[in-house]
Amino acid sequence: MRNIFRIARWEFISRFRSRSFLFNTFVSPLLFTAVLTLPIFIFQYQPEVSTKLVGVIDLSDENIGQNLQDELNRYYRLKNRSPEYMILKVSVSNSKPYSRMLKEYREIIARKDSINSLYNQIKDQRTEYYKNTKIPNREYVLRSSYEKLQITREEKELVQIESNRFKTALDSLYRNEAKNMADSLLITEVLNSYLVFTRDFTKNGNMEYHSKNPGDFRETERLEKILHTIIIKKRIINDNVERAKLRKWLNPIHIKKYQLFAEGQKEWNFYLQFYGPLIGVFLLFMAIFTSGGYLFSSVLLEKSNRVIEVLLSYANSRQIMGGKILGLGFLGLVQVLIWFTLTLILIASDIIPAQKINYLTLTNALYFLIYFSLGFLFYGSIFITIGSISPNEYDAQQINQFLRTVAIFPVLLSLIVFTDPNSTLIRTLSYIPFLTPSFMIMRIPLSAVPITMDIYITIIILIISIIGIIFVAGKIFRVATLMQGKRPTLTELIQWMKIS
Amino acid sequence: METNILEVNQVTKWFFENQVINKLSFKVKGGETFGLLGPNGAGKTTMMRMIMNILQPDEGEILYNGIARNKIKSLHFGYLPEERGLYPRAYVLEMLIYFGTLNNLSRRKAEVEAIRYMDRLGMVDFSDTRINALSKGMQQKIQLIAAFLHNPDVLILDEPFAGLDPINQIALRDILSEYKKENKILIISTHQMEQAEKLCDHICLINQAKVILDGKLSQIKKKYRENAYSIEADNSIAFLHDIKGINIVEENNNSCKFTLSHDNISISKFFEQIKGRVKMRKFEIVEPSLHDIFIKLVQEQTAKS
């Protein structure tokens, strides 16, 4: 029995002093937290370099550019109070085909105008002739002026058709030229992005957003929100609603979220609620796989360098296995306790706002310890078995990698756990011993109702699995550690279990 | 002083279908160096592992002073396995203390003993070095120390001299002979027959899972003596060819190895005949080397089966 403690002490001390333990205890959690939270910070506190130029191609007559500028100015300003966004109406005045076409169009308009005035003149004249019955040759004058009017009207209609056609062509040219222009401005990074408004955008709500990076949700979300307001405003104004009422109607809303707990309600914060448990799972995973990994490499090392033979001559295989599990399990506990202490320090120094985080409780700390211990025993005994039957490190590491992937798999489902930590799927999955620790560590803080029953059930399932695996591991370890060379077949493994 | 005794009685061991040990029996007394010899795969390591209680015999029994081996604490036994292994990242002294404490030594006692042995083997300066910074030979010495640090009553060494330079071989032999004087049991397995010859009092040769030779070294040598002599002189000894009853086996310049045929000539007659004819420098009875006996027996037995 005393040899168990001696072996445990040796395993503990030699790993505790190793650089990898220091790294896994202090650096890895820091790195992970940084990797997890950095994008949020970058996203929220992006350095505002300078005012961003947003181009507008407006094919309607709504003067949307000005509206957009006004609204953007209302909401988004830089720290020095200057506007964050500047709207630039994309100009096509430099485009030769457009100016040529515009010139022609203007000529047509001029012709249209002159014909219009000619037409009106004739009409006026004819009115005059009607009124004045004393005009000599009145009948003739009336008839000839009517013919004139007819001809002019025909011409006027023709010019109208031509001008309409030209207008459409001009619009489409304008659109293309403006887009070309805007594209070149995007490429040269003068513009941040540009928007294209079609003629009837207020009615059909269609517009285009062009950017080098349309995936920038922060930008698109802002523009979408503002355009939405502007367009709705325009639609309402078109229905002749008072402006004063309008403002009242479009007043923005804010939702504050609260979560109900047995002990009362607490304000709900996405980041604290989501990333907290995620960091918890990661730490649990780290703890289990740091000490479990040591267990694994320790068996593998002793097998490959044959220290195991010396050890077996001093202590029996049960003592060796027990000593290793005890020593490295204790190492894991020390690691967890170091993290607890660090958390307490962070709380005491107000870096972690403990009063806002309802799941930072002693009970949950205890659950963390329980799931760590059980998870360690579970994975640890699997590692011992694999370590002792693996003929070489390469094979063993592959299985190790696989187990790690399985254990971290619940993190992939974290969003599902987040939406409903007690759904049937998640509950069922958390009964699978490989996944239990990770799932439960996420579920306990996320669930609004206590899941004591599930905690008991999963603990019992884990304990039963651990007993089973340790039983098998003990038998296989005894025989397998002295074997060298090839990987045993399943039949051989069963035989080993029978003979030992 | 009461004599320790280790008995191996009719031990058989199977590894699935392979019989690695077949009804093996031998007896080792305290103060005796026992050489367990045999070609590769003869079952030596398995036998030693069974004595160390790492493996259990399928049949037969191993007794130490009349008590079954698996009822005795491991701390009475010390073992140097053939395949050497130490913790590469561990510090020498700490690792030795660890091994010592596993055999019930107190930490302090283990430390003192470790330093004492390291000093004898000239490595006290390396006590705070990591194992992987040591040369192969030094690691070998550390492993030897680990085997006898706790002063076991039965010491089993598998190829103890492999990798040691001549000076360290002498140091080790000194340590082992002291150990022998304490009336303890020393079991050595080796392929180096010269070493076995120098060190062992009792030899057990096993091949193909069976004992093919077991007995005191001196008796074995006597048994396999070929009645051969060697003579070396300062003048020519070609006249030996003319003496009746002498068969020359090997002849060099002024020296030769020969046997006497018993019927025609005795050794005293031989001396009478050469008296005054030779300036003798050396005359000796040629003992068969263990090496020769080993090869002869193993070949014979392998041929039989």
Residue B64 sits in a domain of what CATH number?
3.40.50.300
Q: Are residues B113 and B190 in the same domain?
A: yes
- Identify the closest residue of chain A to B70 by CA–CA distance: A316
Provide the pLDDT for residue A484. 62
Listed residues B174, B203, B222: the one ending a domain: B222
| Closest to A455 measured CA to CA, from A382, A354, A363 | A363
Which H or E run includes A482? none
Q: Are residues B185 and B265 in the same domain?
A: no
Q: Are residues B232 and B113 in the same domain?
A: no
**Orientation angle between helical segments A2-16 and B92-102, nearest 10 degrees:** 160
| Nearest-by-Cβ selection for B54 from A2, A302, A312 | A312
SS3 track for chain B: CCCCEEEEEEEEEEECCEEEEEEEEEEEECCCEEEEECCCCCCHHHHHHHHCCCCCCCEEEEEECCEEHHHCCHHHEEEECCCCCCCCCCEHHHHHHHHHHHCCCCHHHHHHHHHHHHHHCCCHHHCCCEHHHCCHHHHHHHHHHHHHCCCCCEEEEECCCCCCCHHHHHHHHHHHHHHHHCCCEEEEECCCHHHHHHHCCEEEEEECCEEEEEEEHHHHHHHCCCCEEEEEECCCCHHHHHCCCEEEEEEECCEEEEEECCCCCCHHHHHHHHCCCCCEEEEEEECCCHHHHHHHHHHHHHHHC
Could you say which DSSP state residue A413 is in? Answer: T
| Closest to A356 measured CA to CA, from A276, A412, A252 | A276
Which is higher by pLDDT, A418 or A252? A418
User: Residue A476, exposed/middle/buried by CB under 10 A (0-12, 13-18, 19+)?
Assistant: buried
Q: Is residue B33 part of a domain?
A: yes
Q: Are residues B249 and B169 in the same domain?
A: no
Provide the pLDDT for residue A85. 87
Q: Which residues contact B275 (CB under 8 A, 6 or more apart)?
A: none
| CA dihedral sign, ordered A255, A261, A265, A266 | negative
Contact state of B81 with A313 under an 8 Å Cβ cutoff: yes
Q: Are residues B29 and B98 in the same domain?
A: yes
Residues facing residue B200 across a β-bridge: none
Tell me the C-alpha distance between A317 and A191, whole Å. Answer: 72
Could you tell me the residue range of the domain that residue B240 belongs to?
A: 226-286
For the stretch B185-232, pLDDT in tens is 999 998 878 888 888 889 888 888 788 888 888 888 888 777 788 888
Question: Residue A48: is its pLDDT beyond 70?
Answer: no
Give A314's contacts in chain B (Cβ within 8 Å): 74-75, 99, 102-103
Q: How far is CA A463 from the centre of its chain?
A: 37
Torsion from C-alpha of A141, A144, A150, A154, nearest 10 degrees: -130
Extract the tokens encoding A342: 């660090």
Tell me the C-alpha distance between A445 and A463, whole Å. Answer: 22
CA distance B79 to chain A (A): 7
| Nearest-by-Cβ selection for A307 from B53, B54, B85 | B85
Q: Are residues B194 and B54 in the same domain?
A: yes
pLDDT confidence band for B267 (50 / 70 / 90)? confident
Mean per-residue pLDDT, A420-429: 89
- For residues A193 and A224, the answer to whether their CB atoms sit within 8 Å is no
Extract the tokens encoding A481: 């550690």
Mean per-residue pLDDT, A300-304: 84
Torsion from C-alpha of A8, A11, A17, A20, nearest 10 degrees: -130
Q: Are residues B150 and B239 in the same domain?
A: no
Question: Residue A467: is its pLDDT beyond 90?
Answer: yes
| CA dihedral sign, ordered B250, B254, B259, B264 | positive
| Nearest-by-Cβ selection for B54 from A302, A307, A309 | A309
Mean per-residue pLDDT, A342-371: 85
In angstroms, the Cα distances linking B211 to A158, B48, B184 are: 125, 14, 23
Q: Are residues B20 and B137 in the same domain?
A: yes
Residues in chain B: 305
Residues in chain A: 500
Question: Residue A345: is its pLDDT beyond 80?
Answer: yes
Tell me the C-alpha distance between A376 and A437, whole Å. Answer: 10
Contact state of A305 with B88 under an 8 Å Cβ cutoff: yes
pLDDT confidence band for A394 (50 / 70 / 90)? confident
Q: Is residue B295 part of a domain?
A: no
Tell me the C-alpha distance between A39 and A45, whole Å. Answer: 10
Provide the pLDDT for residue A462. 94
Q: Is residue B303 part of a domain?
A: no
ipTM of the complex: 0.79
pLDDT confidence band for A45 (50 / 70 / 90)? low
Q: Is residue B292 part of a domain?
A: no
Q: Is residue B274 part of a domain?
A: yes
pLDDT confidence band for B246 (50 / 70 / 90)? confident
Give B54's contacts in chain A (Cβ within 8 Å): 309, 312-313, 482
For the stretch A165-204, pLDDT in tens is 888 888 888 888 888 888 888 888 888 889 888 888 888 8
Extract the tokens encoding A299: 């068996």
Could you say which DSSP state residue A370 is in? Answer: H
Question: Residue B54: is its pLDDT beyond 70?
Answer: yes
Q: Is residue B107 part of a domain?
A: yes
3-state secondary structure of A265: strand
Provide the pLDDT for residue A375. 92
Interface test with A, best of B76, B102, B107, B150 (most A CBs within 10 A): B102
Q: Are residues B243 and B105 in the same domain?
A: no
Question: Residue A260: is its pLDDT beyond 60?
Answer: yes
pLDDT confidence band for A63 (50 / 70 / 90)? confident
| Nearest-by-Cβ selection for B101 from A6, A301, A312 | A6
For the stretch A242-259, pLDDT in tens is 777 777 777 777 777 776
| Closest to A276 measured CA to CA, from A372, A357, A332, A345 | A357
| Nearest-by-Cβ selection for B81 from A14, A309, A495 | A309
For the stretch A205-248, pLDDT in tens is 888 888 888 877 778 888 888 888 888 888 888 888 877 777 77
| Closest to A341 measured CA to CA, from A22, A12, A26, A34 | A26
Provide the pLDDT for residue A500. 56
Listed residues B200, B222, B244: the one ending a domain: B222
CA angle B288, B157, A14 (to 5 degrees): 160
Which H or E run includes A211? strand A207-211
**Orientation angle between helical segments A436-446 and A362-389, nearest 10 degrees:** 170
Question: Residue A456: is its pLDDT beyond 70?
Answer: yes
Q: Is residue B47 part of a domain?
A: yes
| Closest to A186 measured CA to CA, from A9, A53, A286 | A53
Q: Are residues B157 and B240 in the same domain?
A: no
- For residues A124 and A91, the answer to whether their CB atoms sit within 8 Å is no
Interface test with A, best of B50, B53, B54 (most A CBs within 10 A): B54
Mean per-residue pLDDT, B155-176: 86
Which is higher by pLDDT, A415 or B62? B62
pLDDT confidence band for B116 (50 / 70 / 90)? very high
CA distance B85 to chain A (A): 5
Mean per-residue pLDDT, A400-424: 86
Provide the pLDDT for residue A252. 73
Question: Residue B245: is its pLDDT beyond 80?
Answer: no
Question: Residue A155: is its pLDDT beyond 80?
Answer: yes
Q: Are residues B14 and B148 in the same domain?
A: yes
pLDDT confidence band for B121 (50 / 70 / 90)? confident
Contact state of A495 with B16 under an 8 Å Cβ cutoff: yes
What is the number of CB-based contacts under 8 A between chain A and chain B?
59
Mean per-residue pLDDT, B241-245: 78
Mean per-residue pLDDT, A472-494: 76
Provide the pLDDT for residue B286. 80
Q: Are residues B162 and B240 in the same domain?
A: no
| Side chain identity at residue A46, one-letter code | Q
For the stretch A79-104, pLDDT in tens is 777 888 888 888 787 788 888 888 88
User: Residue A354, exposed/middle/buried by CB under 10 A (0-12, 13-18, 19+)?
Assistant: middle
Contact state of A310 with B85 under an 8 Å Cβ cutoff: yes
Provide the pLDDT for residue A466. 93
| Nearest-by-Cβ selection for B90 from A6, A14, A482 | A14
| Closest to B105 measured CA to CA, from A406, A314, A469, A122 | A314
Q: Is residue B298 part of a domain?
A: no
Mean per-residue pLDDT, A432-455: 88
Listed residues B169, B197, B222: the one ending a domain: B222
Number of neighbouring beta carbons within 10 Å of residue B52: 22
Interface test with A, best of B98, B130, B158 (most A CBs within 10 A): B98
Find the CATH number of the domain harbouring B270: 3.30.70
Count of structural domains, chain B: 2
Contact state of B84 with A3 under an 8 Å Cβ cutoff: no
Average pLDDT, chain B: 85
Contact state of A309 with B99 under an 8 Å Cβ cutoff: no
Provide the pLDDT for residue A188. 86
